Structure 1
Amino acid sequence: MNAIGTDSTSQKRSLLSISKLQAFLIHLTGSALVVGTLCAVIFFVWYPAPYFAAKGASGVLLVLIGVDLILGPTLTLILFRPRKPGLVFDLSVILTIQLAALVYGTTTLYQERPYYLVFAVDRLEILAYKDVDSSMIEYEELRRKPFIGPILAVASLPEGQDEFQRLLEETAFEGKPDIERRPEFWSPYANRSDDVIARARSLAELLERYPETRTEIS
């Protein structure tokens, strides 16, 4: 009990010994280190370019930055007074809010990170791990995600007429997803790269077909 009381007293004395500005700067520096480290993981490991923009993940990250890097330190600057009654409680509430935002943002961004990049017929789909039933994956190499970036796969239509007809019925009438979200139709990119290259189009061709995207691309 004496040790606990001594620790509590020393914490209060430490708070009494710093100014409002010092408290703000300490809080801001700590928050910046945490958010900066998380951003490095997000941009270089979970969402390497161009996946962050493609997945539209900026909204969640902006909320996290707004709460942890701006709101938290600002509330400390406003509320901190060395001899204010209940100061420890106020700071605890601020840190709890920041921690909640950090956990929410980190969890959401991790769960939504690009796990699979699937080419299907004439399009690319960026999928999270939760978007597909991984138990249906047939190739072992499609189960091993690289440390940086997603697993590359190619989804192919069934070759037999009966199988193709069955696929159409499943997607049209049974509500099942299309082939890009069904791993039983996937092959490793290395096995089908020629198919992807054969269907690739130059930027000039794409701009001619979709002139409305010229401004966005430039």
Structure 2
Amino acid sequence: MLKDAFLMCNKLPTSHYEAKKIIKDLGLHYEKIDACDNDCIIYYKEYGEALECPVCRLPRWQPKGKSRKGKNVPWKVKTTGIEPSPIECFKMFHMSKTKNSGKEWTSEQTEALHAKLEAKIAVAQDQGFEIDELNIYHEVVGKASHGRVLGMGSCIKAKDVYGCCEGSSKLPRVDKTEELELKIKNMEEELQQYKAMKDELEQLKATQEEVKQMHEFMKVIMSQSNIQLPPTPVCIVFPRIIC
């Protein structure tokens, strides 16, 4: 749906698997951690190898049943991870690799936005203020709202990334259907012109044949009267047009 909504953005993932690959490259991985069903503890660090909850004594794994086969299934699973920097994620998402093993920005607009983000951080550091990257990100790029690009490009207006006409707050959508229809219309007009030219050539050929037949007829008549006729007119060869 996103690719249909934003035709100008051809780098959006087309499947859930490709989206997960992008998230993994951005460092947004997560770790599954078993937890007590009563929310007493999570089996992490000193409790990583424990087989039961030290508080309520509930076993870590659910009973397997009569067969006693299969993997151990925990009562609960929680996820944890380090919250990524929105500015670093913005940079990684909007930069692409080049043939020379380097990196470049996908557009001048995204590069300018990142420069503003870095400038805001530098000012906060110089003044000794506490740096809140998320607030800086929202201040420069904007907060999530309707009509903005989702994913790692969250809070970015399409016109900020792909450009827009001056004085307009909306990105002019490139409708490929209209473009194709215009091309088809032009081709149909050219085809009509070629057909008209072909009809004219057919008429000229027919006229040439009539003149030739008339000349042959007159030649026969004049030969009987001992009158010499001028030579046969040169046949005009027209180029063949294939429609």
Task: Name the TM-score, length of structure 2 as normaliser.
Answer: 0.24
Q: Of the two, which has the highest radius of gyration? A: 2
Which structure is higher in helix share?
A: 1
- Greater length-normalized contact order (CA 8 Å, ≥ 6 residues apart): 1
TM-score (norm 1): 0.26
